[in-house]
Amino acid sequence: MVNLPAFPGAQRPARSYRTDADGVGIATYEWGNESDPPLFLVHGGSDFAGTYDVFAPIMAAAGYRVISWDHRGHGDSDHTALYGWDADIRDALTVMSSITTKAAPVVAHSKGGALMLQLADASPYRISKLVNIDGMPSKRRMPDAPDHDQTRMMAGEIAGWLDFRHEAALTHRKPGTLHELAARRGKMNPRLPIEWLEYLVTIGAREDDDGWRWKLDPTMRFGGFGPWRPEWTLLRMIALGMPFLGVIGTVDEPMGWGTRPRDLIPWVPRNGRLVAIPDVGHFVHIEKPNEVGQMILEFLS
């Protein structure tokens, strides 16, 4: 039997189960004691809850019941006919409602951070405090164009998105060895150690007869957004009423947003603050889990 790679500090969840989101099975995971107050962790696009296997135990050790889930089409959650921003938000509300009916703190990364900004704006009674880890997009806006031109531009984006779905419907992800999949991921996350990337393969990929394959639905584009524009998120962020902490890396990576602190300062909500951590990339909480964890625990307390 081959020994699968481990990683220092990584712990698999204490509990795992499926949450039914209107017929879509959402793989849900928990670290910590069930009697502790809940804390929700939301992963980014093309990722899965296992990317929190180092960070989540830090939060659990501080006295939280930590809950995360694989977004639809990601990890071990069900694949569906179509994906979209609103579907991810509905899934998030389903998972959160299955745990508590009260407001709870949320820590979210990348696409998950942008999703939670929208959820916090639409349902502020569900989130008591919000931490966004490098999930705040650039301030770049749509060009100044008449409404009918903007409608035509969006129609083109939607058509391209649906064409991609149609063409990719029967495709399968390319197999490879465990190390090859880790190396592919390393092209997107060049700052992360190969040992961590190999560990991620054992969770986010499956081993078939012809090799390992990522579980991510091959019909999903990078991030899985569907038609979406960054200014929709920023306009919501500035209006948030709950305490807000934005954490941003300063080194560009292919999976990152390319956002600079100066892009965000005008959009930070009145009850919020922004922290830029030097010499880290998009996965701030993976590069410096203890430093980021302590910062977030102080904010939550």
Give one DSSP letter per residue of 130-159, joined into a string: EEEES----S----S--HHHHHHHHHHHHH
Whether residue 173 is contained in a domain is answered as no
Whether residue 189 is contained in a domain is answered as no
Q: What is the pLDDT of residue 166?
A: 61
Closest C-alpha to 54, from 199, 201, 194: 199
Work out how many domains the chain is built from and give that number. 1
Whether residue 22 is contained in a domain is answered as yes
Binned at pLDDT 50, 70 and 90, residue 144 comes out as very low
Binned at pLDDT 50, 70 and 90, residue 163 comes out as low
CATH code assigned at 98: 3.40.50.1820
Binned at pLDDT 50, 70 and 90, residue 141 comes out as very low
Q: Is the pLDDT of residue 90 over 70?
A: yes
Q: Are 242 and 127 in contact (CB under 8 A)?
A: yes
- Single-letter amino acid code for the residue at 264: L
Whether residue 152 is contained in a domain is answered as no
Whether residue 273 is contained in a domain is answered as yes
Tokens matching residue 153: 């531009």
- Distance in angstroms (rounded) separating the CA atoms of residues 259 and 251: 10
The parent domain of residue 116 ranges over: 15-145+214-300
Angle formed by the axes of helices 111-122 and 230-237, to 10°? Answer: 50
- Distance in angstroms (rounded) separating the CA atoms of residues 248 and 260: 8
Whether residue 82 is contained in a domain is answered as yes
Whether residue 62 is contained in a domain is answered as yes
- How much is the pTM? 0.90
